[in-house]
Amino acid sequence: MPKIVAFACEHSAYEAATAALERKTGTAVSGENPRFPIVEVEILKVPCTGRVEVIDILKALEGGAGIVVLLGCFEEACHYLTGNVRAKKRVGYVRRIIQDIGLEENRVQFFSLAPDMDARFSGIIEELSKQVVNMGPGPVTRIRDQTTKEQAQAAQAR
């Protein structure tokens, strides 16, 4: 199942996600994705998107995410002043380096949210769900699935 990993700032996006869950307008924080049941969504609460390092994003992709999204505050609204600006720049950097290995840049994205924007949150997840279905699972999941399939075939042949 294609997977979206979302790093959500506890001051904005995570609250929006929680509200979306409560109002059942969108994705559950637990991983269910009522509007898009064929896509798994993992939401990780972070103190600020500025805390998310390049390696965290890459590890999420390596761990099988098809899309990694950072959901932070709007500019000027960051609780740590410029965490979201840094996060955006880091996302830009990761989008560049993953293209170097032939991955689509849209596998890593950034969106700004305010705590009361549960509808926008659901909309973003819905849009990303469509995208991840189109792009297919991440590189590592693909190879893992393939290896599992091959192992299963080999086992059957035995």
Partner 1 sequence: MIVAEQKPVAEILRMIEGYRKILVVGCGTCVTVCMAGGEKEAGILASLIRMAWAREGRLGPLIDVSETTVERQCEWEFLQEISEKVAASDAVLSMGCGAGVQAMARMFEGKVILPALNTKFIGMPERQGLWTELCAGCGDCVLDRTGGICPIARCSKSLLNGPCGGSQNGKCEVSKDIDCAWQLIFDRMKSLGRLEALGAMLPPKDWSKNRDGGPRKVVREDMLL
Q: Please report how close the Cβ of residue 42 comes to partner 1 at its closest, in angstroms.
A: 18
The residue range among 33-41, 66-74, 126-134, 137-145 that interacts with partner 1, by the rule CB under 8 A, is: 137-145
Interacting residue with partner 1 among 23, 30, 31, 55 (CB under 8 A): 55
Interacting residue with partner 1 among 22, 32, 62, 127 (CB under 8 A): 62
Interacting residue with partner 1 among 17, 39, 48, 61 (CB under 8 A): 61
The CB-based long-range contact list for 82-86 (8 Å cut-off, 24+ gap) reads 82/50, 83/9, 83/48, 83/49, 83/50, 83/51, 84/9, 84/48, 84/49, 84/50, 84/112, 85/50, 86/50
Q: Give me the half-sphere count of Cα atoms (radius 13 Å) on the Cβ side of residue 152.
A: 6
Query: Contacts with partner 1 in 69-88 (CB under 8 A)?
Result: none
Is 64 or 115 the residue whose CB approaches partner 1 more closely? 64
Is 116 or 145 the residue whose CB approaches partner 1 more closely? 145
Interacting residue with partner 1 among 35, 44, 77, 139 (CB under 8 A): 139
The residue range among 7-15, 110-118, 127-135, 139-147 that interacts with partner 1, by the rule CB under 8 A, is: 139-147
> What is the edge-to-edge ordering of all strands in the sheet holding 67-72?
40-46, 3-9, 67-72, 108-112
Tracing tokens 């979206």 back to the chain, one arrives at 4
Give strand pairing partners of 1.
none
The residue range among 36-44, 70-78, 94-102, 123-131 that interacts with partner 1, by the rule CB under 8 A, is: 94-102
Q: Please report how close the Cβ of residue 39 comes to partner 1 at its closest, in angstroms.
A: 20
Query: Applying CB under 8 A, does 143 fall inside the site for partner 1?
Result: yes
Q: Give me the half-sphere count of Cα atoms (radius 13 Å) on the Cβ side of residue 33.
A: 25
Yes or no: say if 13 and 121 are a contact pair by the CB < 8 Å rule: yes
